[in-house]
Amino acid sequence: MEQAKSKTLKIITTNTNFIGRVASTIRNILVPTKIGMNSFLISMKRRAYIKSEKILEKVKEAPSKSQREEAERKYNIAYEEYLEAIDKYIMDSIYAKVRTDRATKVEKRALADYYKINTNKSEQYEEYKNKKQLFLLSLDYKVLKASGKKIDEKYEELYAVKETKIYRNLLKNYSVRLADNRLISNEKKNGIYMEIFRSLAEYVKEILPLEMKHSKINKYSKIQSEIDRYNSYLGKLDEKDNLERTIILLNISRTLFTHSLPMPVIEECFRKIIERYKKSFNEYNKC
């Protein structure tokens, strides 16, 4: 009887191990397949998006209003489908790789950022909408760049222009929310100011170099020296250097985001920086 039980247990264990190996093999096959399919879909939607933007540019000066409206409608559809394809890539591919412990640190971070952005959807929809677009567009660009493939110049130019527009919308949203004193606490205001600093630093680091590279006119010549000074402070950890870098960043933003960040908001940003520096200085003297 005991021998029969032992045989049964051995068979069950063997079958379980076999099923586990089969399931693991299937996952290992399906995950790369999904990645390949989604990458192909993204490439296809990206090309359609670039093509629709070119057509839109051509008909902007067209006398026919209906022609312009049709081109804009097709552009909006192509853009939405492009974003949806990247979104699907995250859910189908990166999520699957994280679950099967095949994801890189970059992919794990991307998934964490993706969920963090989505948690803000119900509370601040406009902020969520802008941040999600920035995230999806940036993810596709970085994945494409990491692949080692040659990046299409028109795509890179369009990416920089689109990201710049979205950053402007995001910063404008922050400015509008800061202006409404009835609906926002001091704690939330401070949080928004921190988001402004973060967004400006992110833009100057990631997007501005591409904007300058593809700019048809030398519209950044006036702030080139400020940009160079700002870059010279990157990587420095001293509090005084951080203060100087942030002040330069705000000076640059006055030119880059004139209509998105009104002067009262910029002035308040300067005050926040000075207050933070004074606090750090006082704490240092106490030691």
Tokens describing residue 112: 């964490």
Q: What is the pLDDT of residue 1?
A: 53
For 24, other C-beta atoms within 10 Å of its C-beta total 11
Q: What are phi and psi of 182, to 5 degrees?
A: -75, -30
**Nearest C-alpha neighbor of 156 from the set 166, 168, 146, 141:** 141
| Secondary structure (3-state) at 78 | helix
pLDDT digits 0-9 by tens, 189-231: 889 999 999 999 999 999 999 999 998 877 888 899 999 999 9
Query: Helical H runs in the chain?
Result: 2-59, 65-89, 95-99, 105-118, 125-146, 153-179, 186-206, 208-214, 224-232, 239-256, 263-286
Query: Residue 127: pLDDT above 50?
Result: yes
Q: What is the pLDDT of residue 22?
A: 39
pLDDT digits 0-9 by tens, 227-272: 999 999 888 877 788 888 999 999 999 999 999 999 999 999 999 8
- Round the CA-based radius of gyration of the chain to a whole number and report it: 25
Q: Model-level pTM?
A: 0.83
**Which residues in 211-225 are b (16+ Cβ under 10 Å) and which e?**
bbeeeeeeebeebee
Asked if residues 267 and 251 have their Cβ atoms less than 8 Å apart, the reply is no
Q: Which one-letter DSSP state was computed for residue 94?
A: I
Asked if residues 137 and 205 have their Cβ atoms less than 8 Å apart, the reply is no
Identify the top-confidence range among 102-106, 116-120, 177-181. 116-120
| SS3 readout for 205-254 | HHCHHHHHHHCCCCCCHHHHHHHHHHHHCCCCCCHHHHHHHHHHHHHHHH
